[in-house]
Amino acid sequence: MNCRVKICGITNLEDAMMACKHGADAIGFVFYEKSPRYVSPETANSIVEQLPPFVTPVALFVDASASLIESVVSANARWMIQFHGVESESECCRYKRPYMKALRVKQGDNVSALVDQYPSALAILLDAYKAGVPGGTGEVFDWCLIPEGLSKPIVLAGGLTGQNIKQAIERVSPYAVDVSGGVELSKGIKSEPKVQEFIRGAKCG
């Protein structure tokens, strides 16, 4: 199966178009003000208007207010939502948009039971757990913690790079992979060679 690729933490049009050029299936925008990759709704929606067809823009929120979420996704019908906090399924459903729910995986978690709490999700993103940090840790978690036969397509995140992406896909067989820091020059600024290497590794590995 061809693995899909989401390039997250996009902050400018040039990086968005570069990622699309190299085959990104989805582009992620972070609407969490504590993140160094935060982007304003106005900037993000301006970029989304210029994305090519069949590239999915993903709006990442961390326990955000309903007003913020509505202000972002109401501006363009293309948005998918990524909930990266402790949002319940009912909270995720209220916006009537396709969504994926991020889960931060740690030793002892019943991952299957956690996934089953979000039956309406299109996919579940599995990321590394780090206390007090909602995501973007740049750390790999133990992929052996992911059981087989989960009820939702899995998006693998957490410390992925061009160097480990082939191994990750071989071990986990995810529906998609998600990368941010692993393809950057600096926080929020992408490296074209790293993006190209990552996508090639994910799709041609």
Contact 97, 73 (CB under 8 A): yes
Closest to 58 (Cα-Cα) out of 89, 83, 75: 83
**Which one from 3, 8, 20, 92 is the annotated catalytic residue?**
8
**Which one from 15, 20, 92, 127 is the annotated catalytic residue?**
127
Residue 127 bears catalytic tag: yes
Contact 39, 59 (CB under 8 A): no
Closest to 4 (Cα-Cα) out of 55, 77, 59, 50: 55
Beta-bridge partners for 125: 102, 155
Residue 204 bears catalytic tag: no
Active site residues: 8, 127
